[in-house]
């Protein structure tokens, strides 16, 4: 092993980091809209993470929600 990551490994690492950041912000109660703004990622990415974790966002899933914004 050379210690260098392939492009695929680097992309997966970035996605893993993004998922971790989304998780931490979600736990802190930050709205999906605000998470997307902070991380500069599409809001769909945040919603996909929420759905993938089987979480219910309730009001928080409203893209026009201003709570915690």
pLDDT of 15-57, one tens digit each?
788 999 999 999 999 999 999 999 999 999 999 999 999 886 5
Residue 30 structure tokens: 């930050």
Closest CA to 32 of 42, 49, 48, 46: 46
Helix (H) or strand (E) holding 26: helix 7-27
69: confidence class by pLDDT, cuts 50, 70, 90: very low
Residue 63 structure tokens: 């893209």
22: Cα within 13 Å, side-chain hemisphere:
25
């Amino acid at each position: 092993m050379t210690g260098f990551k392939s492009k695929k490994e680097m992309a997966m690492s970035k996605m893993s980091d993004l998922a971790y950041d989304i998780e931490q912000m979600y736990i802190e109660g930050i709205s999906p809209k605000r998470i997307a703004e902070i991380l500069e990622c599409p809001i769909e990415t945040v919603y996909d993470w929420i759905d993938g974790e089987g979480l219910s966002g309730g009001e928080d899933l409203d893209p026009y929600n201003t709570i915690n914004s």
